Structure 1
Amino acid sequence: MTDGTMLGQLIAQAEEEGAELTTLRAIAEEAGTVGANRALARLGLEDAGAAKDMAELRELLSAWRDAKKSMIKAVMQWLGRTMAALVLVLLALRLGFPGWLK
C-alpha cells in the first residue's frame, strides 16, 4: 500500500468519525510540509543559500559530464589514429617498403 492510498484511507476514516474534510486536508498538508522541512534539515539544505548551492552543484555536475564526454572522445580519436597508423605500418611491411628504401 502506498503512502497516498494510506493517507486517503485515514482521511476517509476520520471523516466518517466526524472530522471535517478541510481540517483533515490541512493537517495532511501541514504534516507534509513539516516532513519535507525535516528531511531538508537532515540533508543540510534548510538555509536560505541551499537553492544557490544546489544550482552550483548542478552546474558542477554538468561540467563534469561535459569533461568526461570530451575525454572519452579524445581517447577514442587517439585510439583510432593509433590503429590507422598501425595498419599503415603493417601494410608497408607486407608490401616490402623497407626494401624500397635500400
Structure 2
Amino acid sequence: MTENEEMLVRLVEQLSQKGSDLVTVRAVIEEASELGATHALHELGLGDKHARKDLDELRELLGAWRIARRGALRTAFGWIGKALLALVLLGLAVRFGLVDWLGR
C-alpha cells in the first residue's frame, strides 16, 4: 500500500469515527483525487520520472508535424493555384487565337 493509500484509509476511518466535519471530508476528497490521478498516470505509462521529458518530446514532435503539414498544404495549394492560372491563360490563348498565331 502506498503512502497516499494509507493516508486515505486513515482519513476514511477518522471520518467514520468522528462523523463528517468539513476539514476531514475535504482531506478525503483531496487524497482520493491525488491517488486517482497517480493511478491514471501509471495506467497511461506516465508514472515514472522520465514522463515529463517524454511529454515534452512528444509536444515538440507534434509542433514540428504541424509546421510541416502547414508548409505542405501551402505548397500544394500554391501548385494548384499555378496550374489553374496556367489553364486560364491557355484557355484565353485558345479563345483569342494566339495558339494559331504561334503555330504559323
TM-score (norm. length: structure 2): 0.76
Residue 97 (str. 1) matches residue 92 (str. 2)? no
Alpha-carbon separation, structure 1, partners of 2:30 and 2:99: 83
- Map 1:7-86 → 2, pairs under 5 A: 18-86=19-87
In structure 2, the residue matched to 1:88 is 89
Residues 8-57 of structure 1: CA distance to partner in whole angstroms, max 9, x if unpaired?
xxxxxx7xx73332222212111111100000000000001101111111
- Identity rate of aligned residues, in percent? 47
Alpha-carbon separation, structure 2, partners of 1:61 and 1:41: 23
Structure 2: state its 5+ residue gaps.
1-14
TM-score (norm. length: structure 1): 0.78
**Root mean square deviation of aligned Cα:** 1.8
Alpha-carbon separation, structure 2, partners of 1:21 and 1:49: 37
Relative contact order (alpha carbons < 8 A, sep ≥ 6): 1 or 2 greater?
A: 2
Moved over 6 A (4+): none
